[in-house]
Amino acid sequence: MRWGVILCLAALPNALWASEPVALPPDAFPTPDSALVTLGRDLFYDPILSGNQNIACATCHHPTLGTSDGLSLGLGEGGSGLGTAREVLDGQMPRARIPRNAPALWNVGAKEYVVMFHDGRVMLDPDAPLGIRMPEGRELPAPVSSALAAQVILPLLSPEEMAGIAGENPVADRVAKEEIKGENGAWALIAERVAAIPSYQERFERIVKRAPEITDIGEALAAFIQFEFRAANSPWDQYLAGESAALEPAAQRGALLFFGEAECGSCHSGAFFTDHGFHAIGIPQIGPGKAKAAGLPSYADIGRQAITGDSEDRYRFHTPSLRMVGLTAPYGHSGAYPTLESVVRHHLAPLESLMTYDRAQALLPAVGLGDDWGAMNDQEELLNIAEAIELPSRDLSDAAVADIVAFLNALTDKKAAKGRLGIPENVPSGLAVDR
């Protein structure tokens, strides 16, 4: 592997590297138990995990939509259909849009992924209880093997994503009363629902030797994601392994720019093109808002600062991986940009791009759910976002931008995109599977 890298780098003319390309190490991924993987697959596609049994993980992380939902901000529980065709079910109006873009799940199962969510509110931390930081009131009830296995038990509790609204179902009722852990908590209730289905009960008995607990469900979902959503063999990987013809000339020029003059690799670093860190790059803010700070309007989203309390972290968001990025539009934590070209151009002139953002680019299901443009209509909030930007502007020709986009598209593993196990025909609950 190392030799391949060195050979190929030597083949690139006059490379002046601001940062270094890194090949994927052969042991980048864990090898989950196959019985746990297939169990996790069923759970991932099964609406049984949602309070009103009308939405699955796959609804927002669908393989036909690059393991995301194809929307800037999605519609959670109460909706029906996938992607831009998603609409509201009769009498089940969701209360709000999901406040952030659904990230793709490619490679989040790799060993080096220890930070989850756009703001990193779940992460490995030796000082946290059981070694993983969780949001307040959502601490882990038992140890789990990865940050991913901890993350996946949280969407179940979100009223807008999967739980539903108090009065609609017992899970939502308990969430509304903040009864999460313990025998009568929302997590236990969800695990009981799963255990009540014989096929799930039998398989968990075989693997963990008891009725499933919520953390077992988390481990199964994580095992599936680790196995299914691996994207490790793109033209770029083949190129690094010594096949110089694998990368078309435009993508080769794009690679030189990416790691060189355009300095993309300073944040999108390493084998997965992320430093797993947080940066403020001024992506336009859309929708109901998320992490608020004292004195800020509800439609704001200050990102990482809401987790650390550190003013340095204001409007910082997690650096996304760029593997498979050609399949995962729209882009940014709010999904503001629908194309690779538009989000790359944003990076080159972040302030101007924020201030002149064309709202027609946002992909939002046409459902009246309050004002989506509070932040963008608020000059003060716009200036707050602008002031935090830490990305320098950069002059690149149109041809250079096209080359960078060609390089980004060469990070797609086309075979992985088809899936390994794929979408199940049906799931043990008998509920409908999104296809």
Tell me which residues touch ligand HEC (CB under 6 A): 49, 55, 57, 59-61, 74, 76, 98, 100, 102-103, 105, 108, 116-118, 148, 151-152, 155-156, 161-162, 221, 262-264, 266-268, 279, 281, 283, 317, 319-320, 322, 325, 328, 331-333, 340, 343-344, 347, 390-391, 404, 408
Reading phi first (left if > 0) and then psi (alpha if -120 to 50, else beta), residue 351 is in alpha
| 161 vs 237 by CB, closer to ligand HEC | 161
CB-based contact 317:406 (threshold 8 Å): no
Q: How far is the CB of 118 from ligand HEC (least distance, A)?
A: 4
By beta-carbon proximity to ligand HEC, the closer residue of 102 and 246 is: 102
- Residue closer to ligand HEC by CB (options 243, 261) is 261
Give the nearer residue to ligand HEC in terms of CB position, either 247 or 262: 262
Shorter beta-carbon distance to ligand HEC: residue 239 or 258: 258
- Closest separation between CB of residue 167 and ligand HEC, Å? 20
Cβ-based neighbours of 427, under 8 Å, separated by 6 or more: 42, 45, 46, 48, 433
DSSP 319: P
Give least dist CB 109 to ligand HEC, A: 9
323 closest CA partner among 50, 171, 12, 104: 104
49 vs 180 by CB, closer to ligand HEC: 49
The torsion angles phi and psi of 367, rounded to 5 degrees, stand at -130, 130
Is 270 in contact with 320 (CB distance < 8 Å)? no
Q: Take residue 373 and report the two structure tokens written for it.
A: 């443009």
d(CA 301, CA 294): 12
CB of 227 to ligand HEC, least distance (A): 13
Contact between 45 and 433 (Cβ < 8 Å):
yes
State how far the Cα of 42 lies from the Cα of 339, in Å rounded to an integer.
32
Backbone angles phi, psi at 79, to 5 degrees: -100, 175
The answer to whether 106 and 323 have CB atoms below 8 angstroms apart is: yes
Q: Which is nearer to ligand HEC, 24 or 385 (CB)?
A: 385
Report strand pairing: 87-88 vs 115-116.
unpaired
Instruction: Give the CA-trace dihedral at 156, 162, 167, 168, to 10 degrees.
Output: -130
Smallest distance, Å, CB 365 to ligand HEC?
12
Residue 310: DSSP 8-state: -
- To ligand HEC, the closest distance from the beta carbon of 179 in angstroms equals 19
> Shortest gap between Cβ of 283 and ligand HEC (angstroms)?
4
- Between 203 and 316, CB nearer to ligand HEC: 316
Q: How far is the CB of 40 from ligand HEC (least distance, A)?
A: 9
